[in-house]
Amino acid sequence: MRPSSLQPSLSVDIGPLSLRNPVMTASGTFGYGEEYAPFVDLNRLGALIVKGLSLEPRAGNPPPRLAETPSGLLNAVGLQNIGVKAFVKEKLPFLKEYSTAIIANIFGETVDEYGKVAEILGMADGLSALEVNISCPNVKKGGIAFGSSPEMAAEVTKRVREATDLPMIMKLSPNVTDISHIAESVESAGADAVSLINTLAGMAVDVEHRKPVLYNVTGGLSGPAIKPVALRMVWQVVNRVNIPVIGLGGIMCPNDALEFLIVGARAVEVGTASFLNPHATMNILEGIETYLREHSISDIGDLIGTLERP
């Protein structure tokens, strides 16, 4: 049999969570799934992560919310969302119909809010896991992001762990000195997996009008520009923790995804790429398959973490 005719096995385990393939959608870039349903057979995704949810609906920031930068996108949506209750009532029923793992991305302004959101979602039917965004500011601790201190990150992890039995992925912020330290901290606190990276904090200026392009002044940078940073952080974290690592940041094509897998990510999330091409997740999935075939790798597990040192 020629290697290219083999159907490689693509399934991966993220702790307690089994996925049919490693290609997931990144939170905030795929809406609640329905927006992309005309383009993507949602049943072919490894997992679908929805826009971040908070306890109460949030209006978000005034426009402009977007700025384009070289190979990058700055956004300051301000975590606009319909709130966890409306999500369960209005969005989850549609998503439940799919056989794909549905993962809710959540955040809070206090540790307790994280717990409450997790509790509500833990009781809802149809979710496979939670992804906990700790890049947002802790209003009680002067607006410092939860994800910027190992202690605060652990506190959130413990609170969510108490609130639900759902598999729990902690999504780490890259705006820190030592991301592997944060990863270790959430691992000890009970996280089932970590995903990284969220956006890098950035800014753009309108030189003609001498004002920030974004109403919010600063925003989060995503897209190809951040891929080298994301890869480096995933590499650092896989070398320090034993829980699975999900890699993301600037994955636009199959090659980008393969870089993350080779470095040791168990799965990848595709974000900004979907804006450029609504079929991006499927192209990436197919490209990974082709690579495995061409390299006679029958199980994706035999590719993950195989980076050679020079």
Partner 1 sequence: MHPVPLFIKGRILDNLEAVRGHFLLRLKLPPAFHHPVPGQFVMIRVTESQTPLLARPMSIYAFEKGAGHSVLEIFYRVAGAGTRILSGLKPGDELSLLGPLGNGFSGNQEARRAILIAGGIGISPLTFLAASLSPIREPFPVEMTAYVGAQRKEALAGLDRLSAVCPDIRICTDDGSMGYGGRVTELFERELDAFDPQGCAVYACGPRAMMKRLAELLEKHPLPCQVSVEERMACGLGACLGCAVAVRTPGGDVAFMRACKDGPVFDIRRIDW
Per CB under 8 A, does 54 bind partner 1? no
**Two structure tokens written together for 308:** 């050679």
62 binds partner 1 (CB under 8 A): yes
Q: What does 251 interact with, of its own copies, ligand FMN, partner 1, none (CB < 5 to 8 A by kind)?
A: ligand FMN
Stretch that binds partner 1, among 15-23, 117-125, 275-283, 292-300 (CB under 8 A): 275-283
The verdict on 226 binding its own copies (CB under 8 A) reads yes
Q: How far is the CB of 65 from partner 1 (least distance, A)?
A: 5
Q: Looking at beta carbons only, is 224 or 244 nearer to partner 1?
A: 224
Q: Which two tokens stand for residue 173?
A: 């912020």
DSSP code of residue 124: S
Instruction: State which residue, 200 or 285, has the beta carbon closest to its own copies.
Output: 200
Stretch of 38-46, 108-116, 128-136, 218-226 contacting its own copies, by CB under 8 A: 218-226
Residue 74 binding result from its own copies, partner 1, ligand FMN, none, given CB thresholds of 5 to 8 Å by partner type: its own copies
Show which residues are catalytic: 136
Q: Specify the amino acid at residue 219.
A: G
Strand-pairing partners, residue 248, are: 269
Instruction: Specify the residue, 21 or 54, whose C-beta has the smaller distance to ligand FMN.
Output: 54
End-to-end CA distance of the chain: 33
The DSSP annotation for 219-258 comes to: EEEESGGGHHHHHHHHHHHHTT-SS-EEEESS--SHHHHH
Q: What number of CA atoms fall less than 13 Å from residue 208's CA on the CB side?
A: 1
Map the footprint of partner 1 across residues 205-224, applying CB under 8 A.
223-224
Beta sheet of 66-69, edge-to-edge order: 66-69, 72-75, 218-222, 200-203
Instruction: Tell me which of 9, 80, 110, 175 binds partner 1, using CB under 8 A.
Output: 80
* Interface residue with ligand FMN, options 54, 222, 236, 281 (CB under 6 A): 222
Q: Give the residue with the Cβ less far from partner 1, 16 or 228.
A: 228
What is 71-122 written as a DSSP string? TEEEE-----B--HHHIIIIIHHHHHTSSSEEEEEE--SSHHHHHHHHHHHH
For residues 21 and 209, what is the distance between their CA atoms, to the nearest angstrom?
Answer: 47
Judge whether 195 and 222 are in contact, CB under 8 Å: no
Stretch that binds its own copies, among 9-17, 49-57, 153-161, 256-264 (CB under 8 A): 256-264
CB contact at 8 A, 246 and 265: yes
Stretch in the footprint of ligand FMN (CB under 6 A) among 91-99, 207-215, 234-242, 247-255? 247-255
282 binds, among ligand FMN, partner 1, its own copies, none (CB under 5 to 8 A by kind): none
Q: b/e map of 62-90 (b: 16 or more CB within 10 Å)?
A: eebbebebeebbbbbbbbebbbbeebbee
Cα separation, 185 vs 190, in Å, equals 9
Q: Which is nearer to ligand FMN, 2 or 70 (CB)?
A: 70
CB of 256 to its own copies, least distance (A): 9
Q: Which residues contact ligand FMN (rule: CB under 6 A)?
A: 26-29, 51-52, 73, 75, 77, 79, 105, 133, 171, 198-199, 222-223, 226, 248-251, 270-273
Q: Which residues contact its own copies (rule: CB under 8 A)?
A: 67, 69-72, 74, 148-149, 175-178, 200-205, 207, 209-212, 214-215, 217-218, 221, 223-229, 231-232, 235, 250, 255, 258-259, 262-263, 291, 306-310
